[in-house]
């Protein structure tokens, strides 16, 4: 039995978020960005002053026990991420969070905690869910699976053009190095590493426009 999910995975800055959000808009279905959920937890650890290197997992467990995180539909029909009653925006898209989130996402307690909440979202009906392990771990039975990649240089260029995600003075070289480091942590972690599901459609977006990628995805959907 398939689960009613369009799973979109891929490495950082491959263009998957843009594709996933345009696709959801076009199909009028919820768009769930699981990277933002990992960023939200990272944001809260910083906000609570938890030093992950020093404190181990005890403080983190207590924090998670006192955290509520979910996607909620707003008056415009968009699904927004809400943590402890407050909607999160650009505060999770900083260079500081980008530099720490892969480490937080490698922690088993965080993954288990978020996995439970991500799976519950299938109750919303057909959704687009985007991340690193959606087609492999969160929804291995997703009806549709896509793995979106692009060359390292193109990914670094795209990231450099996004505001807020890089440190002041960042160069193509420094951004490429940061992305490579995130890829390394994301694909070598023990639990749910970044990898393409065997039954996922691979789309290399290096030489494609966003519109072309969305068309390619739509052409694979039988609806
Ligand atoms: O998509 P993003 O760059 O905003 O994701 C932020 C981090 O979260 C990324 O470094 C890896 C992690 N992540 C993950 O481990 N599993 C997911 N399903 C989504 C994101």
User: In sequence order, what DSSP letters do the residues of 79-128 get, joined into one string?
Assistant: EEEEETTEE--GGGSSHHHHHHHHHHHT-HHHHHHHHHHHHHGGGGSSEE
pLDDT of residue 161: 86
Q: Is 15 in the pocket of ligand 1 (CB under 6 A)?
A: no
Closest CA to 139 of 35, 24, 7, 1: 7
In a domain, 191, yes or no: yes
In a domain, 190, yes or no: yes
Task: Give me ligand 1 centre to Cα 162, in Å.
Answer: 17
pLDDT per residue as tens digits for the range 54-103: 767 889 999 999 999 999 999 988 899 999 999 999 999 998 998 899 99
Mean pLDDT throughout 166-173? 86
| Cα 102 → chain centroid | 11
User: How far is it, in rounded angstroms, from Cα 86 to Cα 56?
Assistant: 27
Q: Name every residue whose Cβ is closer than 8 Å to that of residue 169 and which is 6 or more positions away in sequence.
A: none
Q: Is 148 in the pocket of ligand 1 (CB under 6 A)?
A: no
pLDDT band per the 50, 70, 90 thresholds, residue 163 = low
CATH number at residue 157: 3.40.50.300
Judge whether residue 2 has pLDDT over 70: yes
Index of the ligand 1 atom closest to the CA of residue 9: 18
Count the domains in the chain: 1
Report H helices in the chain.
Answer: 16-27, 34-47, 52-55, 58-65, 95-105, 108-120, 152-161, 172-188, 210-220
In a domain, 25, yes or no: yes
Q: Is 155 in the pocket of ligand 1 (CB under 6 A)?
A: no
Domain housing 11: 3-218
Judge whether residue 216 has pLDDT over 80: yes
Smallest CA separation from ligand 1 atom 1, residue: 35
pLDDT per residue as tens digits for the range 103-130: 999 999 999 999 999 999 999 999 999 9
User: pTM, whole model, 2 decimals?
Assistant: 0.94
pLDDT per residue as tens digits for the range 121-161: 999 999 999 999 999 999 999 999 999 999 999 999 998 88
Q: Is 81 in the pocket of ligand 1 (CB under 6 A)?
A: no
User: What does the block give as tokens for 76?
Assistant: 């415009």
In a domain, 24, yes or no: yes
The overall average pLDDT reported for the chain is 93
In a domain, 223, yes or no: no
User: How far is it, in rounded angstroms, from Cα 33 to Cα 211?
Assistant: 19
Q: Is 35 in the pocket of ligand 1 (CB under 6 A)?
A: yes
104 with 53: CB under 8 angstroms?
A: no
| Cα 9 → chain centroid | 8
In a domain, 17, yes or no: yes
Q: Is 34 in the pocket of ligand 1 (CB under 6 A)?
A: yes
pLDDT band per the 50, 70, 90 thresholds, residue 165 = confident
User: How far is it, in rounded angstroms, from Cα 155 to Cα 205?
Assistant: 10
Judge whether residue 212 has pLDDT over 90: yes
In a domain, 183, yes or no: yes
Q: Is 130 in the pocket of ligand 1 (CB under 6 A)?
A: no
Cα separation values, 156 from 111, 131, 183, Å: 27, 18, 12
pLDDT per residue as tens digits for the range 20-57: 999 999 999 999 999 999 999 999 999 999 988 776 78
pLDDT of residue 68: 97
Percent share of the chain, pLDDT over 90: 83
In a domain, 63, yes or no: yes
Identify the bridge partners of residue 86 per DSSP, sorted by sequence position: 83
User: How far is it, in rounded angstroms, from Cα 49 to Cα 8?
Assistant: 33
Query: Which of 20, 32, 33, 105 has most ligand 1 atoms within 8 Å of its beta carbon, as the pocket-test mutant?
Result: 105
pLDDT of residue 203: 97
Index of the ligand 1 atom closest to the CA of residue 106: 15
Query: Which of 17, 18, 32, 35 has most ligand 1 atoms within 8 Å of its beta carbon, as the pocket-test mutant?
Result: 35
């Amino acid at each position: 039995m398939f689960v009613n999910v369009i799973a979109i995975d891929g490495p950082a800055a491959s263009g998957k978020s843009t594709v996933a959000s345009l696709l959801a808009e076009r199909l009028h279905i919820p768009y769930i960005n699981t990277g933002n959920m990992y960023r939200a937890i990272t944001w809260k650890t910083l906000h609570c002053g938890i030093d992950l290197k020093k404190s181990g997992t005890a403080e983190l467990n207590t924090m998670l026990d006192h955290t509520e995180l979910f996607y909620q539909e707003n008056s415009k029909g968009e699904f927004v991420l809400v943590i402890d009653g407050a909607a999160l925006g650009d505060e999770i898209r900083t260079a500081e969070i980008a530099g720490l989130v892969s480490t937080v996402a490698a922690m088993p307690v965080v993954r288990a905690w978020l996995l439970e909440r991500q799976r519950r979202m299938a109750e919303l009906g057909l959704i687009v869910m985007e991340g690193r392990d959606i087609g492999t771990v969160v929804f291995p039975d997703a009806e549709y699976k896509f793995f979106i990649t692009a060359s390292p240089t193109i990914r670094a260029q795209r990231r450099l053009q996004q505001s807020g995600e890089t440190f002041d003075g960042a160069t193509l070289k420094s951004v490429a190095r940061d992305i490579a480091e995130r890829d390394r942590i994301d694909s070598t972690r023990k639990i749910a590493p970044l990898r393409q599901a065997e039954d996922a459609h691979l789309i290399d977006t290096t030489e494609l426009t966003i519109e072309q990628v969305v068309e390619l995805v739509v052409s694979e959907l039988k609806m």
